[in-house]
Structure 1
């Protein structure tokens, strides 16, 4: 009886060891031109949402705290510092203009697999948002395209693209 049980056990072990191992379905090959991923929720996205709210409510102290000390803002292809950007916003406020932002912007983050060799940035938050500038019963809606390069939880570089002519007309 013991020999029969041992023979069954040995046969079972041989059968199991010879069984073809099932493998998981292979992952799709990564596109060789792919260099990162896009995500729809992140701490960086939340920071940018809060930042744009701070800018529109003229909360400059908290607004500035989100930027690295040497951050560069490319405002319609003109490079300015965060202090120069705040000065523009202060002038808008001083001239009696208000600024409101739509509450549902198109916003996402692109995370590069490797950081930019020059800047060290690998996280970029993109947003497309309508901003309404108002003064004395008149208003204009401007579509902003903003990109925020973020490193270590701070904005290091920002690109803003928008049509400034309607804002200038409103200030006249």
Structure 2
């Protein structure tokens, strides 16, 4: 009977240790925070010939990388909005710029919107929709995809970023709402 209790106790300790170490490793990995000052510093190096660089919207984690939205003006004062993909080192929180894509934005409109497809790890595809908001009455946007699925995103820092996993043909409709949840802008 004593050996049975000893075996159960040892087995319990081993299982508890495994659960504890696995949980700690997972939490440590998932709780990496993005230092915005470091991110801005890295982006200022990559966009060194541009001016008025701003982070807009929120950072989103996609698999092992992060995506953020930036706006800036070139030397000819043409306004642009880009998505930027970057990675964060788990050990020292250093940030590595991976790529960017985007285009010109018309600040005379209520908002700009762009979409881009991305494939991560050579297997998972995403539709990334992002933009900058120029009308301060807008508080959220809703995207309706070709398959009927809808996603709503709050506007933060004058921007938005919506990442949807899967193969999508595109967006059928964009609606922008004010704080009273009334449609202020819709396309088409």
Q: Shorter chain as normaliser: what TM range?
A: 0.3 to 0.5
More strand by percentage: 2
Q: TM-score, normalised by structure 2?
A: 0.30
| Higher RCO, 1 vs 2 (CA within 8 Å, ≥6 residues apart) | 1
Higher helix fraction: Structure 1 or Structure 2?
A: 1
TM value normalised by structure 1: 0.32
- Structure with greater Cα Rg: 1
